[in-house]
């Protein structure tokens, strides 16, 4: 990707938003845009007759999940719903004023919006995309200045007075074009990452179930046995010298309690904890949106660690089991349907699923020959390395964009127009 032609800024002046080039102006948002609040004049908002029509209904979550452009939505309005809402045109900047306040993105289509969103419509002399990048860059500052009540929020009166830098229009166009180039590069990288993740999921369903075999193993049969025939439960007590106290998060896996809760919730005693060793597994019976049946993770980062006793912990009975193969086996969700079948009466008050551990070890798993297990695991290790490389490249592009925003949107570095 070709870098933009940049010049260091020379003459500057002090303004309400800091040091800016002398050629730049500063205006209140209410002077350079038209600000309008979304609308949905009915409570509760869950009334079914207002939904399911043809009009997109972009809400705070859709704005927060977008990067620059809002290209998708999770809800539509019927004609009745449209009559009590407000429609903003394509190209309008939407800002969330409740929950995740200050998130911004630009509409790629006409859409109705609720009163938790403000539409920002740039006036003549203001490039909408430049203004969007400016508001994204200044989000933390907006959050800091926002009126504080029972809950921090933004409102029209406050936003009307917010000062924003306004370079000459040709320079706005050029800055927006430079940053859009980086956005496109990030989007392409994320598309590559998503495609590779989809490839991995598809390959898991084939290799981990025996639908696709390596030629050298085709004459060898897989066994289908109970989990307890291959793995045994781990209930060992924590030793006094254990250094790491871990919990499981659904999306990440093992994390230190210090990083998850900002403290070790175990306190000074680990009597109700289990000592887990490298290569062993823990099943977190916690219910979440991502894993309604709980999740299973393998301990890789530490030689040993303390984990909560509510987890069902287990390890291989013999060396004829490749733990990496089963890490991918559980990651692929190949136990999910069976897990749902042994969960009794849903979620308890403590957020854990009702389940008899004995039934957990009666679940059935596939057992390929150990050499085939290792070869399958090797394939997924390569895929994971490729995924990690794509993620690092995406992170590098995001870092470059943040650096450019800091320089270009403050006038510290100027683009040639």
pLDDT at res. 241: 83
**For residues 220-236, average pLDDT:** 96
Helix (H, G, I), strand (E, B) or coil at 35: strand
Q: Give the chain's domains with CATH numbers.
A: 25-166 (3.90.220.20), 223-367 (3.90.220.20)
pLDDT at res. 95: 95
pLDDT at res. 347: 60
Kindly report which listed range (96-100, 231-235, 397-401) carries the lowest average pLDDT score.
96-100
What pLDDT band is residue 6 in, cutting at 50, 70 and 90? low
**For residues 171-187, average pLDDT:** 96
**For residues 175-185, average pLDDT:** 96
What pLDDT band is residue 262 in, cutting at 50, 70 and 90? low
What pLDDT band is residue 351 in, cutting at 50, 70 and 90? low
What pLDDT band is residue 150 in, cutting at 50, 70 and 90? very low
Kindly report which listed range (81-95, 165-179, 344-358, 393-407) carries the lowest average pLDDT score.
344-358
Kindly report which listed range (9-18, 61-70, 114-123, 165-174) carries the lowest average pLDDT score.
9-18
* Per-chain mean pLDDT for the chain: 90
Kindly report which listed range (80-89, 231-240, 350-359, 379-388) carries the lowest average pLDDT score.
350-359
pLDDT digits (tens, 9 = 90+) for 188-214: 999 999 999 999 999 999 999 999 999
pLDDT at res. 302: 93
CA distance 198 to 206: 13
pLDDT at res. 72: 94
* Structure token digits, residue 167: 């370079």
Highest mean pLDDT (candidates 94-103, 138-147, 178-187)? 178-187
pLDDT at res. 3: 54
> What contacts 88, CB < 8 A, 6 or more positions away?
36, 38, 94, 107, 110, 111, 112, 113, 119, 121
What pLDDT band is residue 142 in, cutting at 50, 70 and 90? confident
Top pLDDT among 220 and 290 is at 220
> Where do runs of H (alpha helix) occur along 222-355?
227-230, 257-261, 323-331, 336-342
Say if residues 410 and 13 touch (Cβ distance below 8 Å): no
> Where do runs of H (alpha helix) occur along 165-283?
169-207, 227-230, 257-261
In this prediction the pTM is 0.83
> What contacts 104, CB < 8 A, 6 or more positions away?
63, 93, 94, 95, 96, 120, 132, 135, 136, 139
Top pLDDT among 413 and 289 is at 413
pLDDT at res. 25: 94
What pLDDT band is residue 31 in, cutting at 50, 70 and 90? very high
pLDDT digits (tens, 9 = 90+) for 52-65: 999 999 999 999 99
What pLDDT band is residue 417 in, cutting at 50, 70 and 90? confident
**For residues 330-350, average pLDDT:** 83
CA distance 391 to 18: 35
pLDDT at 163 over 90: yes
**Torsion 393-396-400-405 (CA) sign:** positive
pLDDT at res. 306: 94
**For residues 26-33, average pLDDT:** 95
pLDDT at res. 319: 84
pLDDT digits (tens, 9 = 90+) for 266-299: 555 688 899 999 999 999 988 777 788 999 999 9
What pLDDT band is residue 264 in, cutting at 50, 70 and 90? low
Say if residues 168 and 21 touch (Cβ distance below 8 Å): no
pLDDT at res. 110: 97
């Amino acid at each position: 990707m070709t870098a933009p032609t940049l010049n260091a800024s020379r003459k500057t002046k002090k303004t309400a938003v800091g040091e800016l080039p002398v050629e730049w102006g500063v205006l209140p948002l209410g002077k350079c845009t038209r600000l309008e609040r979304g609308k949905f004049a009915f409570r509760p908002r869950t009334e079914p007759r207002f939904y399911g029509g043809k009009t997109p209904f972009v809400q705070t979550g859709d704005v927060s999940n977008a990067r620059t452009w809002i290209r998708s939505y999770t809800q539509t309005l019927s004609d009745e719903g449209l009559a009590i809402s407000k429609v903003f045109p394509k190209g309008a900047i939407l800002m969330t004023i409740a929950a995740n306040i200050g998130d911004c993105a630009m509409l790629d289509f006409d859409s109705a919006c609720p009163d938790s969103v403000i539409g920002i419509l740039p006036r003549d002399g203001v490039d909408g995309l430049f203004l969007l990048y400016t508001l994204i860059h200044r989000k933390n500052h907006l959050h800091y200045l926002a009126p504080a009540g029972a809950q921090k929020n933004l409102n029209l009166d406050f936003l009307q007075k917010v000062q924003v830098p306004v370079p000459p229009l040709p320079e706005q166009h050029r800055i927006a074009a430079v940053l859009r180039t980086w956005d496109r590069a990030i989007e392409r990288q994320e598309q590559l990452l998503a495609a590779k993740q989809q490839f991995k999921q598809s390959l898991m369903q084939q290799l981990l179930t025996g639908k696709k075999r390596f030629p050298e193993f085709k004459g060898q049969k897989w066994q289908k046995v109970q989990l307890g025939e291959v793995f045994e439960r781990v209930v060992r007590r924590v030793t006094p010298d254990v250094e790491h106290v871990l919990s499981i998060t659904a999306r990440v896996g093992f994390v230190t309690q210090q990083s998850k809760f900002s403290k070790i919730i175990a306190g000074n005693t680990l009597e109700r904890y289990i000592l887990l060793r490298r290569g062993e597994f823990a099943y977190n019976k916690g219910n979440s949106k991502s894993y309604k049946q709980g999740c299973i993770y393998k301990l890789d980062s530490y030689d040993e660690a303390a984990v909560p006793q509510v987890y069902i912990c287990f390890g291989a009975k013999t060396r004829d089991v490749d733990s990496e193969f089963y890490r991918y086996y559980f990651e692929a969700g190949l136990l999910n349907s069976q897990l749902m079948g042994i969960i009794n009466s849903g979620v308890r008050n403590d957020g854990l699923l009702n389940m008899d551990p004995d039934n957990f070890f009666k679940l059935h798993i596939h057992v390929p020959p150990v050499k085939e297990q290792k070869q399958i695991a090797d394939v997924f290790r390569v895929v994971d390395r490729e995924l990690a490389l794509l993620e690092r490249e995406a992170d590098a592009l995001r870092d470059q964009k943040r650096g450019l925003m800091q320089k270009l949107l403050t006038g510290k570095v100027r683009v040639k127009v």
